[in-house]
């Protein structure tokens, strides 16, 4: 990566509507796993994989998250950026990159737990070859919930498969290496979606490559998967 130390933006600003029956009045990133909040497990796992600085992109219940991470800041380098209003996934990334002074960094969704080596994502993007975003992909036994990823040669992403098709296959794991130039069509503070507004255009331009990530993957966005992670740490 171009920064001197690996940096990861954690998108932790969403309301977590689907998980609310399980976590009640807490933001999704503070969902309890044993006696610890999910965000603590997530950041510690990423730190073990080489991330040296974190930027938490907050929105929903941001003051509660700020208070909860105070103990973590004694051992992890964590900056916090709060959206002035909901900006969508793409808008939140651009806003955080702008305020943290980042040109290239990792980005992860705040509900993604992935125990994988990250060396392929930490390598600098090949900007000279037009690579503006590198997507971590993982194979799941049933991708009907997620949709899928279609590839061309050498890991170039050709498109995305719709949700609903059953069967094993690679999915977008919600972990990226991204360059700020991927957002040249948008302004800081503008609301837009990474998945719906940015990725299709980048894929059409041949600017998105995929890299396989191996290891357990859990998306706690739904109560059944949240319970699965809780059982792992029981």
- Model pLDDT for residues 52-69, shown as the tens digit of each residue: 999 999 998 999 999 999
Alpha carbon distances (Å) from 76 to 44, 55, 70, 125, 229:
8, 11, 10, 25, 23
Average pLDDT over residues 154-171: 92
Q: Give 4's pLDDT tier (boundaries 50, 70, 90).
A: low
Position 3 pLDDT exceeds 60: no
Sign of CA dihedral 69, 63, 19, 193: negative
What are the tens digits of pLDDT across the range 163-179?
Answer: 988 899 999 999 999 99
- Looking at residue 166, its pLDDT comes to 85
Mean pLDDT for all residues in the chain: 93
pLDDT grade, residue 1 (50/70/90)? low
User: Which residues lie below 8 Å from residue 93, measured CB to CB, with a gap of 6+?
Assistant: 9, 11, 57, 107, 178, 183, 194
Q: Provide mean pLDDT across the span 84-107.
A: 97
Average pLDDT rounded to a whole number, residues 132-138? 97
Mean pLDDT calculated for residue range 146-175: 92
Give 15's pLDDT tier (boundaries 50, 70, 90): confident
The mean per-residue pLDDT over the stretch 194-220 comes to 96
pLDDT at 2 over 60: no
List the domain boundaries for the chain: 7-232
pTM of the model: 0.95
Q: Which two tokens stand for residue 55?
A: 């930027």
Hey, which bits of 110-224 come out as E strands?
Answer: 112-114, 133-140, 148-151, 157-161, 169-179, 208-212, 217-219
When pLDDT is averaged across residues 185-196 and rounded to a whole number, the result is 97
Contact 65, 27 (CB under 8 A): yes
Q: How far apart are CA 202 and CA 119, in angstroms?
A: 23
- The CATH code for residues 7-232 is 3.90.550.10
């Amino acid at each position: 990566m171009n920064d001197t130390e690996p940096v990861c933006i954690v998108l932790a600003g969403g309301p977590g509507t689907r998980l609310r029956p399980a976590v009640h009045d807490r933001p999704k990133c503070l969902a309890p796993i044993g006696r610890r909040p999910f965000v603590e497990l997530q950041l510690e796992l990423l730190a073990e994989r080489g991330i040296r600085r974190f930027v938490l992109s907050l929105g929903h219940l941001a003051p509660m998250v700020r208070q909860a991470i105070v103990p973590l800041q004694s051992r992890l380098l964590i900056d916090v950026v709060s959206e002035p209003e909901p900006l969508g996934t793409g808008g939140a990334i651009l806003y955080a990159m702008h305020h943290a002074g980042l040109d290239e960094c990792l980005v992860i969704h705040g509900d993604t737990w992935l125990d994988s080596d990250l060396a392929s994502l930490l390598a600098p993007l090949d900007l000279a070859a037009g690579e503006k975003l590198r997507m971590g992909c993982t194979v799941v036994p049933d991708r009907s919930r997620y949709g899928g990823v279609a590839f061309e040669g050498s890991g170039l992403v050709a498109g995305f498969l719709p949700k609903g098709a059953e069967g094993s296959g690679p999915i977008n794991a919600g972990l990226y290496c991204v360059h700020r130039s991927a957002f040249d069509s948008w302004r800081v503070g503008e609301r837009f979606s990474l998945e719906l507004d940015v990725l299709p255009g980048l894929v059409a331009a041949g600017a998105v490559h995929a890299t396989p990530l191996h290891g357990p993957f859990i998306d706690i966005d739904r109560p059944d998967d949240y319970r699965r992670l809780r059982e792992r740490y029981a």
